[in-house]
Amino acid sequence: MATITPPVRVRFAPSPTGYLHIGGVRTALFNWLFARHYGGQFILRVEDTDEKRFVVGAADDMMWSLRWIGIDWDEGPDVGGPYGPYVQSDRHERGIYNEYVADLLRKGLAYKSFTTPEELEQMRAEAESRGIKAFRFRGPERDWTPEQIAEAEAQGKPYTIRLKVPLEGMTRFHDLIRGGEQIIINHADLYDIVLVKSSGMPLYHLAHLIDDRMMRITHVIRGEEWVPSTPYHILLYKAFGWEPPIFAHVPNILRQDGRGKLSKRKDDVATNRFWERGYLPEAMFNYLSLQGWSYDDHTELMTRDEIVERFTIERVQPSPARWNPDKLKDMNGIYVRKFTSDELADRIAPFLVQAGLISDPPADEELAYLRRLTPMIHERVEELSEAPELLEFFFREVGVAEDVALRYEPVMLIQKKMDAARTAAGLRAAYEGLSALDAWQVEPLEATLRALAAEQGLKPGQLFGAIRVAITGRTVAPPLFDTLNGLGRERSLKRIEIAIAALEQTSAG
Annotated catalytic residues are 264
Least distance (Å) between residue 114 CB and RNA: 8
Q: Please identify, among the stretches 103-111, 143-151, 193-201, 421-429, the one whose residues bind RNA according to the rule CB under 7 A.
A: 193-201
The reply on whether position 481 binds RNA by CB under 7 A is: yes
Identify the CA nearest to 28 among candidates 78, 88, 84, 68.
68
> Can you tell me which of 122, 303, 435, 475 binds RNA, judged by CB under 7 A?
475
For RNA (CB under 7 A), the number of binding residues is: 91
Instruction: For the CB of residue 445, give the shortest distance to RNA in the complex, in Å.
Output: 9
CB of 408 to RNA, least distance (A): 14
Does residue 355 touch RNA according to CB under 7 A?
no
- Is there binding between residue 133 and RNA (CB under 7 A)? yes
CB 233 within 8 A of CB 227: no
Residues 48 and 82: beta-carbon distance below 8 Å: no
Q: Does 47 bind RNA (CB under 7 A)?
A: yes
For position 199 contacting RNA by CB under 7 A, the verdict is yes
**Phi-psi label, residue 508: left if phi above 0, alpha if psi -120 to 50, beta otherwise:** alpha
Would you say 314 or 360 has its CB closer to RNA? 314
- H or E segment to which residue 335 belongs: helix 325-338
Out of 122, 148, 303, 317, which residue is the one contacting RNA (CB under 7 A)? 317
**Residue 350 binds RNA (CB under 7 A):** no
Task: Choose the binding region for RNA from 222-230, 356-364, 427-435, 488-496 (rule: CB under 7 A).
Answer: 222-230
* Cα 171 off chain centre by: 35
The candidate with the shortest Cα–Cα distance to 391, out of 490, 469, 486, 494, is: 486
- For the CB of residue 360, give the shortest distance to RNA in the complex, in Å: 28
What span, in angstroms and rounded, lies between the C-alpha atoms of 322 and 288? 11
53 binds RNA (CB under 7 A): yes
Check residue 480 for interaction with RNA (CB under 7 A).
Answer: yes
Q: Which of 205, 310, 489, 491 binds RNA (CB under 7 A)?
A: 205
Please report whether residue 184 would count as binding RNA according to CB under 7 A: yes
Residue 160 binds RNA (CB under 7 A)? yes
- Closer CB to RNA, residue 330 or residue 342? 330
Q: Tell me which residues in 242-271 interact with RNA (CB under 7 A).
A: 252, 254, 258-261
Position 495 contacts RNA (CB under 7 A): no
DSSP 30-86: HHHHHHHHTT-EEEE-B----TTT--TTHHHHHHHHHHHHT---SBBTTTB-TT---
Q: Are 130 and 155 in contact (CB under 8 A)?
A: no
Stretch that binds RNA, among 44-52, 55-63, 98-106, 147-155 (CB under 7 A): 44-52
Answer yes or no whether residue 310 interacts with RNA by CB under 7 A. no
Alpha-carbon span 32 to 40, nearest angstrom:
9
**Shortest approach of RNA to residue 459 CB, angstroms?**
8
Cα–Cα nearest to 495, from 424, 397, 418? 397
Interface with RNA includes 298 (CB under 7 A)?
Answer: yes
Interface with RNA, residue 326, by CB under 7 A: yes
Task: Report helix angle 489-508 to 460-472, nearest 10.
Answer: 100
Q: What whole-number distance in Å separates Cα of residue 28 and Cα of residue 49?
A: 20
Amino acid, res. 35: A
Q: Minimal CA–CA distance to 116: which of 227, 25, 194, 178? A: 194
Residues from 274 through 293 that contact RNA (CB under 7 A): 290-292
For residue 183, the cross-strand partners are 173
Residues 414-473 that bind RNA (CB under 7 A): 446, 460-461, 464-465, 468
CB of 363 to RNA, least distance (A): 28
Contact positions with RNA (CB under 7 A) in 86-125? 115-117, 120, 124
Task: Supply φ then ψ for residue 112, to 5 degrees.
Answer: -85, 130
Identity (one letter) of the amino acid at 376?
M
CB of 16 to RNA, least distance (A): 9
371 binds RNA (CB under 7 A): no
